[in-house]
């Protein structure tokens, strides 16, 4: 997050950290995601590296309820040094959108659904976010959160947040066309003000709106041209556009596992 401030402890309790484990067992933080149900986390398709979808071992785990990432060491599932508020989960299945193309720079269909091996315990620090199922007509502000790169070029150790202004899709289309990138109805543009943006490592996190009482996931951090550059808004996968895809796959996973 560029230009952000530290989130309040327990703010955005759906924020998930996706930890990637390579074939040598080395763990690294890859992306964010967000809890949409006690057993499901949404993230970006580009966060899922195909070489890690291996048949043995768990290439990923998901951490929920995190804030300051340095206060914990062993947060592996079953790890003993995890703070009370943090919950580590193994992943039972990852579904990447069938029309996502790793090689396309357009990042269309940049969405994936993760099912956890068991339901999280809901708490003050771990709660799902509601999905927006229709494009909101007049959004004035969006909110994003994450542990990605900041203006210092390093990823953040604490959960950050920032507000973004909407960026009209037609204007965004024209802007990205210059670079031969196609923006379509499945994408939302937001930001484009100098020094307020999502950045590397924030991918997969939610683009949120609020009605004053509740937050809704309106989009999902997908990509951008640099971070925090004036007139280069971030590009977000539209949640309303994919809400039926998400629901369909949640039902499917559930049905098969019974």
Name the residues that contact ligand 4AZ, by CB under 6 A: 197-200, 202-203, 221, 223-224, 227, 234
> CB 12 → ligand 4AZ: shortest distance, Å?
17
* Pick 128 or 219: Cβ nearer ligand 4AZ: 219
* Pick 125 or 223: Cβ nearer ligand 4AZ: 223
> CB 202 → ligand 4AZ: shortest distance, Å?
5
List the one residue out of 29, 9, 19 whose CA is nearest residue 83: 9
Q: Which of 67, 97, 108, 110 is catalytic?
A: 110
> CB 234 → ligand 4AZ: shortest distance, Å?
4
Q: Which two tokens stand for residue 3?
A: 């230009």
> CB 245 → ligand 4AZ: shortest distance, Å?
21
* Pick 125 or 148: Cβ nearer ligand 4AZ: 148
> CB 232 → ligand 4AZ: shortest distance, Å?
7
* Pick 2 or 64: Cβ nearer ligand 4AZ: 2
Taking a C-beta distance cutoff of 8 angstroms, is the pair 29, 157 a contact? no
> CB 210 → ligand 4AZ: shortest distance, Å?
21
Cβ neighbourhood burial of 8 (10 Å; 0-12, 13-18, 19+): exposed
d(C-alpha 91, C-alpha 238), whole Å: 24
d(C-alpha 138, C-alpha 1), whole Å: 24
In order of 15, 27, 44, 198, the CA distances from 190 in angstroms are: 19, 31, 17, 10
If you count DSSP H runs as helices and E runs as strands, how many of each does the chain have, helices first?
2, 14
Q: Say whether 74 is catalytic.
A: no
Q: Which of 37, 46, 97, 107 is catalytic?
A: 46
Taking a C-beta distance cutoff of 8 angstroms, is the pair 95, 41 a contact? no
Q: Say whether 214 is catalytic.
A: no
Q: Which of 203, 218, 222, 238 is catalytic?
A: 203
Taking a C-beta distance cutoff of 8 angstroms, is the pair 22, 216 a contact? no
List the one residue out of 31, 21, 5, 7 whose CA is nearest residue 220: 31
* Pick 146 or 240: Cβ nearer ligand 4AZ: 146
Q: Say whether 155 is catalytic.
A: no
Place of tokens 């057993």: 39
d(C-alpha 45, C-alpha 42), whole Å: 9
Q: Which residue is nearest to ligand 4AZ (CB)?
A: 224
* Pick 66 or 202: Cβ nearer ligand 4AZ: 202
Q: Which residue numbers are catalytic?
A: 46, 110, 203
């Amino acid at each position: 997050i560029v230009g952000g401030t530290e989130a309040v402890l327990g703010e955005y309790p759906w924020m998930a950290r996706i930890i990637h484990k390579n074939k040598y067992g080395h763990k690294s933080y890859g992306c964010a995601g967000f809890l949409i149900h006690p057993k499901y986390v949404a993230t970006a398709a580009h966060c899922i590296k195909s070489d890690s979808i291996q048949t043995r071992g768990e290439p990923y785990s998901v951490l929920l309820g995190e804030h300051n990432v340095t206060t914990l060491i062993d947060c592996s599932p079953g790890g003993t040094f995890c703070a009370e508020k943090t919950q580590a989960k193994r992943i039972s299945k990852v579904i990447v959108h069938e029309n996502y193309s790793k090689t396309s720079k357009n990042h269309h269909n940049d969405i994936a659904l993760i099912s956890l091996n068991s339901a999280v315990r809901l708490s003050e620090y771990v709660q799902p976010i509601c999905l927006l199922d229709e494009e909101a007509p007049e959004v004035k502000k969006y909110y994003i959160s994450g542990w990605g790169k900041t203006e210092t070029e390093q990823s953040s150790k604490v959960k950050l947040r920032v507000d973004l202004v909407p960026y009209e899709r037609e204007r965004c289309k024209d802007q990205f066309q210059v670079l031969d990138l196609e923006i379509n109805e499945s994408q939302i543009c937001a930001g484009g003000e100098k020094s307020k943006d999502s950045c590397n490592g924030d991918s997969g996190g939610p683009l949120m709106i609020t009605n004053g009482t509740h937050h809704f996931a309106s989009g999902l951090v997908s990509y951008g041209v640099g971070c925090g550059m004036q007139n280069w808004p971030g590009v977000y996968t539209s949640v309303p556009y994919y809400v039926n895809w998400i629901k369909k796959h949640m039902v499917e996973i559930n049905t098969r596992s019974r």
